Structure 1
Amino acid sequence: MLKEVNSAYSALTDGTPFKAKEGTDHTKAKPSSGRSDPPAIEDFLSVLELPPQEKMRLHLSQTLQLEQFLRAYNSRNWPDYFHVGKFVAVIDDSFGMSGETGIAFTDALIGFNDAETGCHDYGYDRGFNGGFEAHGLSISRMGDHCIDLANFSEHGVRAIVSTINLFLESLRDWHRSNGEAGDSKSQLFMSISSYHSGDDYLTWLEMASEAGNCVAHCNLAQAIATYDPARAYHLYQLAALQGDYGAMKRLTDVEFDRFR
């Protein structure tokens, strides 16, 4: 067990820390265009400007202690449908600096956790969609409450929200550019993040499916099944041929009997 814990913790320090330029404004700290890797949340957090007593509550992976990591991770009930990913940072809002409450960041999602309302998780592939909002010491998204921060000033909360939003907007821009260049994973990302945008959702989904993306086959099949069941059946077949178990199960549904 100890070996597994140490192995998981050692993954936190993998990679080279981002170095910010002297005097960098966190609202200007966008990764340069043309970088081969997607924007990383830790790059943005590393230049987050906070008052000294609040800055000490920001722990990037290189400065996060093992005990803090374990408490931050175990205090959150990560949902099964999220890919949690690699733990990269914690904004610690606990009174004992334990990491149990506050905001946890992985390379796949943001996990909010406070003592009053519990956990609220947000996967990056859900897109920008206007981003998060700061209301005094509270953070919300699209009207949904995420967290009340007890150990940060209103200025600090606004800076945190601004940094998160800048990252999400940059990530969306990066995927849009890659998707337009033909990358099916970015096309899938754009389809999921455009789910509430009507035609954009199906446009990106069609592009990803045409590029052979297995998840896109399934998502598109589900979207069109009511008005084009024959094509939906064909898409599920394509996904099943790539080993997708969910697609295999869908192919056995009664609604597709006429196509067998």
Structure 2
Amino acid sequence: MTRQVVAIGSLKGAPGASTLALALAAAWPTAGGARPVVVEADASGGDIAVRFGLSNMVGLLTLAAGARQQEAGSGLDGCTQEVAGGVRVVVAPTGADQAAPCVSEIASCASVLHGDGDSKGVVLLDLGRLGATASQELARVADRLVLVARGGTDGLAHVAARPEWLEGVQVELVVVGPCRYAESDIAKALQMEPVQIHVLPWDARAGAVLSGLGRIGERRWRRSPLGRAASRLADRLAGVDTGRQGGGLVDELAQFASRPLSRPTVGTAGEGGAK
């Protein structure tokens, strides 16, 4: 079984796709298996390197450069770094001039994400706004697509008017922040099933940690609405029913929430740099 690819993106604006990808990676139920990898493939440029003080020379640039030469999926591990808490990331260049060609190259060699029959785990593919053709191509080859939208009428209207290229794509909708509509009402209006709709209550303090800002106490993490919601969504996307109430995100982030964020030294594969 090849590794699962879950794409995360928005049809309008910046409703928090990168932060959601990191939250899902920390919450993902690994059960002793391979840890998830967040691949930042935003054609407009990445944010994660800046957030956490990582090098953007080790990441999507190196993955794209070796995509055609590497065996399926073999180059992914060598392009990862870690943010505080042990979440593995493949960061995109900050500028669109470098990021967009990398995304196009990955879209033409999607096997580098799925891997081969021995590849395990999940790639959480942060696509940002789904405007570029290459971003849409990656969304279509993913096993699942998570659309992220704000909870206002304007944000949901863009999902209702979703473009034709989404036809046939298996979609989950995450509604971020305040929303006055019930999940069942959103599903009816968007012609989706209620189980496909996930209202994610945003916690400013919890979100700040995933944005590379500040720290938060362990008890606060265990009560975090963001943590609980991300855990439930990760379980659904992974196709498991753990029955957990808090779970991976709370436990994972509690390990680093009360200590300073790390700034790992980055090197090339095999030279002792962060992976």
Do the structures match in fold with TM over 0.5? no
Which TM-score band (shorter chain)? under 0.3
Answer 1 or 2: which has greater helix percent: 1
Structure with higher Rg: it is 1
Larger relative contact order (Cα-Cα within 8 Å, sequence gap ≥ 6) = 2
TM-score normalised by the chain length of structure 1? 0.26
TM-score normalised by the chain length of structure 2? 0.25
